[in-house]
Amino acid sequence: MRFKPKPFTEPVGFRCLYCLDCCRGRHVYLTLKDVERIAKAGHDPQDFVTFSIEGDKIRFVLAIREWDLGCVFHDPETGKCRIHAVRPLICRIYPFMVSRKPLGVKSERPFHHKGETLWLYYDESCPGINAENPETTITPEEIAELGIEFEREFEKTDMDGFAELIERLEGEKDE
Ligand code: SF4
Ligand code: SF4
């Protein structure tokens, strides 16, 4: 599914309708903290981490099923996420997006949060935004906070850190 950005400047009501769209055909980056949290919930990193080479960097990406390009944690019967409580930061941010520069979308404007200047958007294709009977209200502040956290953790995520994490997780298993 292609992200259709709309400026996110005011709180919006949200209720996920489990339309399955956002957990299929997406490239979900993982931070080391994501890998650790999911592994500690009982999932082997070998089963959910894949690698992507981007320039001189190795990125860690959530694995997908071959048959429908769905995320390995997506339950095709219910449309729900099987690791909802420990899902990656990117999945907590979606259907919103945090950018350091404007995307050139009509009516966008900068959002200032804790000394940072950001541009926030939501995905117009997600039917959960402004859905009837919303379950929750999402504010620009909380998305800005998650976006900054993702940026910080993503920056620290590299192969050395990944190898150390795997070693540590193996050590904890043997204890
Ligand atoms: S696209 Fe929106 S409504 Fe559909 S599953 Fe994703 S978050 Fe939920
Ligand atoms: S981890 Fe969960 S929310 Fe994220 S893409 Fe996979 S199924 Fe969807």
> How many CA atoms within 13 Å lie on the side-chain side of 121?
21
The residue nearest atom 1 of ligand 2, judged by CA position, is 87
0.85 surpassed by pTM: yes
Is the pLDDT assigned to residue 125 strictly greater than 80?
yes
Q: What is the mean pLDDT of the segment spanning 104-129? A: 96
Q: Note the pLDDT tens digit of each residue in 66-106.
A: 888 899 999 988 889 999 999 999 999 999 999 999 999 99
Mutate to test the pocket of ligand 1, among 14, 16, 80 (most ligand atoms within 8 A of CB): 16
The residue nearest atom 2 of ligand 2, judged by CA position, is 81
Task: Give the pLDDT confidence score for residue 1 in this predicted structure.
Answer: 60
> How many CA atoms within 13 Å lie on the side-chain side of 117?
5
Tell me, using a 6 A CB cutoff, whether residue 72 lines ligand 1: no
Q: Note the pLDDT tens digit of each residue in 128-168.
A: 999 999 999 999 999 999 999 999 999 999 999 999 999 99
Query: How many Å lie between the centroid of ligand 1 and the Cα of residue 161?
Result: 32
Which of 174, 171, 133, 142 has the alpha carbon at shortest distance from 16? 133
Tell me, using a 6 A CB cutoff, whether residue 127 lines ligand 1: yes
Is there a contact between 26 and 71 (Cβ–Cβ < 8 Å)?
A: yes
> Nearest bound ligand to CA 38?
2
Query: How many Å lie between the centroid of ligand 1 and the Cα of residue 120?
Result: 18
